Structure 1
Amino acid sequence: MSGIAGRTLLVLALGAGLACAIPPADAAPSSDTAEILGEWETKDHDGVFRIMKCGSEICGDLVGLSYTKEVPKDHAGHSECGLRMLTGFTPDQQDAGHWNGHILDPDSGHVYHARIWVSSSGALKLRGFVAVPLFGETETWTRFTGKIGPECRLP
């Protein structure tokens, strides 16, 4: 895998067929849509996503990457800097505060189902899965408060 985002997505995709985890107690969602918007750092602190409104939906771009040589490339050879990887998130009609949409694996070009929400602890939870949420893996992202350099480079 070449990109930081690709490794994150690989973990989510592989977990999709292997894990049967039940969300922890702190996974209770917030009902405030504004809480989900902003910049979020991945669990390994090697990527930052900007989650924003895209019309009536929520979407997210990869805006920060930790790398040493050149900007990581997606499966088509394009820069991952600014890549829209979270798309089509709409409110879940049965789970207030949860949003359902899709997440792109930039290394393969595959798109997976995903669910996002803000937990009671204030962390963003992102669950990627192939068919049903029960068979997936949840990552915990934290608010990003740092600076992003040129070409999406994280310090």
Structure 2
Amino acid sequence: MKYITVIALLLSALTLTAQNNPDAILGKWESSEKNLIVEVYKQHNNFQARIIWFNNPGNLLPETDIKNPDKDLRSRKIVGMDVLSGLEYNAKQNRWTGGKIYDCTSGHTWSATVWLASPDELNVRGFYLVRWLGKTMLFTKAD
């Protein structure tokens, strides 16, 4: 019983940390595949993320946004590009919602929701229309 109480208190502390700190997602995050680092930053009341590093062994991926539906943006560099925008912190849901995530490998933009699994684990869910039609990516806090 003592262990259950300790676990419950720890989970409550994690939840309260995020609820009391909408800025908890700010900083650098590395993908679980270790091939991408993004930096989450705040602009006005919205949270955004840009690619600051990606591993491209053998130059298999293009260095520019060649799949973008806007022909004028196809020459922009992947590194430095905003890929997540418009997130707002929702204290009731303990999530950052209402965002858009851009997939430069396909040129598609999806709806996005972000939440902390722990102070060092960030989940990013990109989806189409409803949350269960999507994919969740895991990021860990980067140095």
What is the TM-score of this pair, normalised by structure 1?
0.68
Q: Does 1:72 align with 2:58?
A: no
How large is the RMSD of aligned CA atoms in angstroms?
A: 2.1
Q: Distance in 2 between matches of 1:79 and 1:37?
A: 23
Cα contact 1:57–1:89 (8 A) shared by 2: yes
Q: Which amino acid aligns with 2:133?
A: F
Residue 136 of structure 2 is matched in structure 1 by 138
Shift of 1:77: 3.4
Q: Deviations over 1:47-75 (max 9, x none)?
A: 00000001110000000111245562212
Percent of paired sites with the same residue: 23
Deviation of the 1:121 alpha carbon: 5.6
For structure 2, the 5+ residue unaligned runs are: 1-10, 67-73
Paired residues of 2:87 and 2:96 also in contact (CA < 8 A)? no
Q: State the 1:97 CA deviation.
A: 3.4
Length-normalised TM-score, structure 2: 0.73
Structure 1 residues without counterparts, runs of 5 or longer: 1-25, 146-155
Whose RCO is larger (CA < 8 A, sep 6+)?
Answer: 1
Q: Retained in 1: the 8 A contact 2:24–2:119?
A: no
* Larger of the two Rg values belongs to structure: 2
Q: Secondary structure at the match of 1:107?
A: coil
1:122 Cα offset (Å): 2.9
Q: In the alignment, is the contact (CA less than 8 A) between 1:92 and 1:100 conserved in 2?
A: no
Partners of 2:47 and 2:65 in 1: how far apart?
22
Look up the match of 1:52: 41
SS across alignment from 1:80: coil
Mapped to 2, the partners of 1:59 and 1:41 lie a distance apart of 15
Structure with greater strand share of residues: 2
Question: How many equivalent pairs are there?
Answer: 119
**Compared with structure 1, are the counterparts of its residues 122 and 109 closer, same or farther at alpha carbon in structure 2 (3 Å cutoff)?**
same
1:90 shift after superposition: 1.1
Greater helix fraction, Structure 1 or Structure 2: 2
CA contact (8 A) 1:124 1:141 kept: yes
Letter in 1 for 2:43: C
